[in-house]
Structure 1
Amino acid sequence: MGKDTFELAGQQWPKVTWYKMKGMRFVYLTLWAAMITSATNGYDGSLMNGLEAMASWNKSYNNPQGATLGLLAASMSIGSMLSIPVVPYVADMAGRRAGVVTGCIIMLFGVAMVSIGYHIALFVVGRIVLGFGLGIAQECSPLLVTELVHPQHRAVYSSIYNSLWYVGSLIGACVALGTNHIIGSEWSWRVPCLLQGIPSICQLVFIWTVPESPRWLISKGKLAKAKQVLAYVHAQGDEDDALVNVEFDQIQQTIALEKELENNNWSEFWSTKGNRHRSIILISIGFFSQWSGNGIVSYFLPTVLKMIGITNSNTQLTINLILSAVNVVSATGICFFVDYFGRRKLFLTSSVSMLVCFIATTIALARFDADLPSTNSNAAHTVIAFIFLYYISYNIGFSGMLVSYSSEILPYRLRAKGLTLMFFCVDLSLWFNQYVNPIALLNIHWKYYIVYCIFLVFEIFVVWKYYIETKEIPLEEIVKKFDGDSAVLGGAAASEKIQQITGQATEFDGEKAITTQVEYRV
């Protein structure tokens, strides 16, 4: 494949420059209205670190620690898990944009409850409501992004989506550091809680500037509107453009074939070899995203810093801020190289690097138990350095590609349910981390890090064994990697088996694919 072309339906197409195309430029500049859902989630992660470091918040809730602190942090994940039965049906029936709106409205109710909360119970319930809304919005948003952008830009935009978690985290760290100086007032922690509602308000207003997913429109029989959206975003409104016609035919026929030849229920995830392979990836990547050791620092950084003698709240918040900034740069930067290096190489590099960093951190934490001040100082500096290196390693693979890789390996009919399965594993692992981590850190201290060192070895094996490369493969055509000759794929790239079943003949006339579909019965 040439540097100036990309492949779709067995043909080479010239690459485009997004800012030179009117429709694409407008949509890409307004697509932030869907993508900031991830930043909302990141803000919450940083928010809990910030609140934990604030004297005013600890005073308001009687200095929670151990199981109580774990419940306060895990309550949002509980809410996300409660949304699981609802999410795929909202996304598939109401649409991607309507799902984002629904989630944002629910999140605003949660923000109000958390900000008002004078009692732990109200704070917990508020975070459960907040997590329920986020569970809906955080699935619909990446679906809209993945299914709307130009094939050439799928890897970059879908990877950037989840990387924006760190943008929210950075903003949260800045707010917490600033409001911490409001001495002797509960507004030092209430203000950061209230500001969590701003992204949802912005999404409610601006999400309507983003077109609906053309794949969802096709699935609902709105063919003319779907083609209009494809043409507007990918070809400056030209509905006769060759690429638009090839895309439209491939998407339409694939979705029609999926409805005719395949089921659309949860049993699909273990009914075929290809879907069992997908399920292994979805379940593992969900757990790996939180059980690689990042959960300790993401939600309990002040606790870790106290283990190495850093107890000053401003110092803790400053380290949290710098770490968030480094994460923004490293996580978003790697997104532009996903198609250059490939998914599999990045996942393997990430997992191996995380193991090395975690082993070094574990040794440094163990050394800090010594009584020599010089040893303690060196060990503390080593821990801080490897926390930063660890997160850079994590961001190489699991930050941006958590959602993008999970979305692209799924056929349309299973995409919403598949992401729901993956996010359920994320929430389950988050709930475990947020509830168990503070208890483990309180009781066994640095020895808890050994658990994650062992788990990372297992993670490396699973990634090496099951994670396949999807580099520069069009979204609909990735099914061939999992399902082989039995892949359900329409259009010019249809397999011989599908062509035989449907009576579909494909021929190429110059640069434009002409596909003939004859009536068939199954």
Structure 2
Amino acid sequence: MLGRGYIIGERGLARNTATLCFAFAIVFAFVVPILSPQGRWHTRTSRKSPTVMVLSPKVYTWLCGLFAALGSVTFGYDLGIIASILPAEDFIATTGNPDSTAQGLIVGCLLLGAFASNIYVGNLADMVGRRVAILAGCIVFLLGGGIQAGAQNIHYMYGGRFLAGMGIGMLAMLAPLYQAEIAHPSIRGRLTTLQQFMLGIGALIASFIGYGCYHGLSGQAQWRVPLAIQLLPALPLAFFILLLPESPRYLAMKDRNEEALRVLARLHAHGDIHDSFVVSEHREILAQVQIERQETRDAWAQLFLVKSNFRRLLLGVAIQFSIQLTGVSVIQYYAPLIFESIGIDTSTTLGLQSGNSVIALIGEACCIWFIDRLGRRGPFIWGNALSGLTFVIGTIIIAVYPASTNNHNASRAFVAMTWLFNLVFSSCLGPLSWAIPVEMFNSATRARATAITSSAAWISNFMIAQVSPIAFDRVGWKYYIVFAICGFSNALFFWAFLPETKGIPLEELDTYFEGMPIFVPGSKVHVPEDPNQREEELRQGKVMVPERAESDILDEKEKATIEHVA
């Protein structure tokens, strides 16, 4: 049981772990029945009179996306738990008393594995489908997590972290890809930002589990138990992911057009394949797939040789690199070292990180709420500028009042800046770094492009993980100046070059980017103010079908009922 100072005993830890498992069981017992073919939750009040609660199509689709994002809990947990594992005495002894370089490699192997997974995951997703690829990611992660929990020396940790990273890299790329492809245009942002929200839940769980194990357990259990707990979220995802509907865009790419129509109806109209919105959406998807095939059958060629696609690819890579230049991974991985430089011990740091995780979750919830109201561009620009400002203030504090001054007010002010940074990052930057790249590409290039942009996230993350310990040793607090400057330079760059993508159907983004100038400010390209506007037009039969695709996609009856607007 949690007591004063959050110190728990072994029985308390066991009870909390059992409670965690029970909570997961309750969640999945609730979610899985909801994911029935037409989004209905069946209850029976008598043998003759079943009661049917019909979920809103958007709620149903959102729940599908929420379940698919469960893999991000493992992502957040694995990122968060390592800070409490590295200082454990038995872990240090088991891994041969690793120096700062070896500890950096333990952290970095997860990121290298995630980077390696992006070499093949895009092709895998296009070959076997989004759901089966997610299942494969779960299996790889479970293998890597098991090796970590049973590690006998540092080489086991390297291998386990690498494999777990491969699984995490697959899940982190596939979840927003799947979410974007099943979403209504008006809630796509709320769906794809679930990735970061679930990551925050994982980090929150990790902070409390790590703090409790660090104080309440000793010996091998102090680090093996928290490493073993990371396996729990991946198990129900692996068992139940195939119960979710497949991506209709993937089905259309494989010429499974009737199945794509049924899935769209299941997601967006309670199974009604004659619903006007579903029919219009289906026509747009088929038309876009045909255009992509007419232009080129090679998705890699489309990605690098088509000017508009290559521009989007560069933007996606820049977004992921910019995230690491905010300094978020430095705080996440090396919080004990950072706080030590201002006079805060490891035990207190782990407790503060628990509070920081709560703040992150609040920020991520705020992002889900405002993303489809305020859009992507504005929050991303202002978030970068504000993150740079928090680093400016934090750098001044740590430069003027180092640990040797024993100034408790300065320590509190520095902690407040890290918390404020985390709130800004979690509400404006982290979720959007996954949501924006995945919604910029067409069906033929989306999986491969997202794999490349995700690989940029992992390799830049690895770079920060390796460079930071050396930078702390060589230049100390001056290292933070880099992130203070980059926050403002990021904001300026994206103000100049990042277009808004709120409310635009995926099939219409090619046309949108082709008409958008490279320098975005002052552009007169229309962006819907109301995210529901384009959905209403689809319900009225206004389909954006290019002339060269119309004859093959629509028969004469459909041409009469569906307005051709482009």
Say whether the fold is shared (TM-score over 0.5): yes
Q: Is 1:122 equivalent to 2:160 in the alignment? A: no
SS of match in other structure, 2:215:
coil
Q: Is 1:499 equivalent to 2:533 in the alignment? A: no
**Aligned to 2:409, which of 372, 378, 394?**
378
> Hey, what's the Cα distance between the residues in 2 that align with 1:501 and 1:228?
22
Q: State the match for 2:276 in structure 1.
A: 242
Percent identical residues? 27
Deviations 1:40-90 (A, max 9, x none): 111111111121343443343355342111101000111112222211111
> Hey, what's the Cα distance between the residues in 1 that align with 2:472 and 2:403?
18
Check the 8 A contact 2:283/2:553 in 1, yes or no: no
**Aligned to 1:316, which of 320, 325, 349?**
349
Q: State the match for 2:220 in structure 1.
A: 186
> Hey, what's the Cα distance between the residues in 2 that align with 1:323 and 1:224?
48
**Aligned to 1:427, which of 458, 461, 478?**
458
> Hey, what's the Cα distance between the residues in 1 that align with 2:332 and 2:127?
34
CA 1:28 to 1:84, structure 2 compared with 1: closer, same or farther past 3 Å?
closer
CA 1:485 to 1:71, structure 2 compared with 1: closer, same or farther past 3 Å?
closer
Q: Is 1:439 equivalent to 2:470 in the alignment? A: yes
SS of match in other structure, 2:274:
coil
Alignment of 1:268-279 (within 5 A): 268-279=302-313
**Aligned to 2:431, which of 381, 393, 400?**
400
Alignment of 1:40-55 (within 5 A): 40-55=74-89
Q: Is 1:351 equivalent to 2:400 in the alignment? A: no
Further displaced range: 136-145 or 73-82: 136-145
**1:370 shift after superposition:** 7.6
Read off the aligned partner of 1:332 and give its amino acid letter. Answer: A
**1:362 shift after superposition:** 0.6
Check the 8 A contact 1:347/1:396 in 2, yes or no: no
Check the 8 A contact 1:355/1:453 in 2, yes or no: yes
SS of match in other structure, 1:337:
helix
Q: State the match for 1:107 in structure 2.
A: 141
Q: State the match for 1:448 in structure 2.
A: 479
Q: State the match for 1:155 in structure 2.
A: 189
Read off the aligned partner of 1:499 and give its amino acid letter. Answer: E
Further displaced range: 426-435 or 182-191: 182-191
Q: State the match for 1:5 in structure 2.
A: none
> Hey, what's the Cα distance between the residues in 2 that align with 1:118 and 1:469?
50
> Hey, what's the Cα distance between the residues in 2 that align with 1:30 and 1:428?
30
Check the 8 A contact 1:508/1:514 in 2, yes or no: no
Q: State the match for 2:70 in structure 1.
A: 36
Q: State the match for 1:86 in structure 2.
A: 120
Check the 8 A contact 2:342/2:411 in 1, yes or no: yes
Read off the aligned partner of 1:432 and give its amino acid letter. Answer: M
**Aligned to 2:237, which of 203, 214, 222?**
203
Deviations 1:106-128 (A, max 9, x none): 11110111111121111011100
Further displaced range: 130-139 or 196-205: 130-139
Further displaced range: 453-462 or 23-32: 23-32
Check the 8 A contact 1:504/1:515 in 2, yes or no: no
Q: State the match for 2:91 in structure 1.
A: 57
Calculate the aligned-residue CA RMSD, in Å: 2.9
Check the 8 A contact 1:150/1:233 in 2, yes or no: no
CA 1:198 to 1:508, structure 2 compared with 1: closer, same or farther past 3 Å?
same
Read off the aligned partner of 2:326 and give its amino acid letter. Answer: S
Q: State the match for 1:365 in structure 2.
A: 398
> Hey, what's the Cα distance between the residues in 1 that align with 2:340 and 2:403?
15
Read off the aligned partner of 1:401 and give its amino acid letter. Answer: L
Alignment of 1:245-284 (within 5 A): 245-284=279-318
Check the 8 A contact 1:57/1:189 in 2, yes or no: yes
Check the 8 A contact 1:142/1:158 in 2, yes or no: yes
Q: Is 1:332 equivalent to 2:332 in the alignment? A: no
> Hey, what's the Cα distance between the residues in 1 that align with 2:176 and 2:403?
48
> Hey, what's the Cα distance between the residues in 2 that align with 1:396 and 1:511?
45
Read off the aligned partner of 1:182 and give its amino acid letter. Answer: G
SS of match in other structure, 1:164:
helix
**Aligned to 1:75, which of 106, 109, 112?**
109
> Hey, what's the Cα distance between the residues in 1 that align with 2:553 and 2:225?
63
Read off the aligned partner of 1:324 and give its amino acid letter. Answer: S
Unaligned 5+ segments in structure 2 are 1-40, 42-52, 518-537
CA 1:123 to 1:500, structure 2 compared with 1: closer, same or farther past 3 Å?
closer
> Hey, what's the Cα distance between the residues in 2 that align with 1:298 and 1:172?
12
Which has the higher relative contact order, 1 or 2, with Cα contacts under 8 A spaced 6 or more apart? 1
> Hey, what's the Cα distance between the residues in 1 that align with 2:88 and 2:424?
29
Read off the aligned partner of 2:142 and give its amino acid letter. Answer: L
> Hey, what's the Cα distance between the residues in 1 that align with 2:241 and 2:431?
22
Q: State the match for 1:466 in structure 2.
A: 497
Further displaced range: 157-166 or 247-256: 157-166
> Hey, what's the Cα distance between the residues in 2 that align with 1:505 and 1:423?
34
CA 1:476 to 1:265, structure 2 compared with 1: closer, same or farther past 3 Å?
closer
Read off the aligned partner of 1:190 and give its amino acid letter. Answer: R
SS of match in other structure, 1:64:
coil
Unaligned 5+ segments in structure 1 are 1-17, 518-522
Check the 8 A contact 1:33/1:202 in 2, yes or no: no
**1:21 shift after superposition:** 3.2
Check the 8 A contact 1:242/1:512 in 2, yes or no: no
> Hey, what's the Cα distance between the residues in 2 that align with 1:27 and 1:457?
37
**1:512 shift after superposition:** 5.3
Q: State the match for 1:341 in structure 2.
A: 374
CA 1:509 to 1:103, structure 2 compared with 1: closer, same or farther past 3 Å?
closer
Further displaced range: 166-175 or 253-262: 253-262
Further displaced range: 60-69 or 321-330: 60-69
Deviations 1:144-191 (A, max 9, x none): 111112333211111122232111100111111121233432111101
> Hey, what's the Cα distance between the residues in 2 that align with 1:318 and 1:60?
25
Q: TM-score, normalised by structure 1?
A: 0.88
**1:266 shift after superposition:** 2.8
Further displaced range: 317-326 or 390-399: 390-399
Deviations 1:222-242 (A, max 9, x none): 111111111111011111110
Deviations 1:200-248 (A, max 9, x none): 1111112122111011111111111111111111011111110000000
Further displaced range: 178-187 or 288-297: 178-187
> Hey, what's the Cα distance between the residues in 1 that align with 2:268 and 2:380?
30
Read off the aligned partner of 1:467 and give its amino acid letter. Answer: L
Shift >4 Å, 4+ stretches: 22-27, 490-493, 500-512, 514-517
Q: TM-score, normalised by structure 2?
A: 0.82
**Aligned to 1:416, which of 438, 447, 452?**
447
Deviations 1:250-271 (A, max 9, x none): 0111111111113433343332
Read off the aligned partner of 1:461 and give its amino acid letter. Answer: L
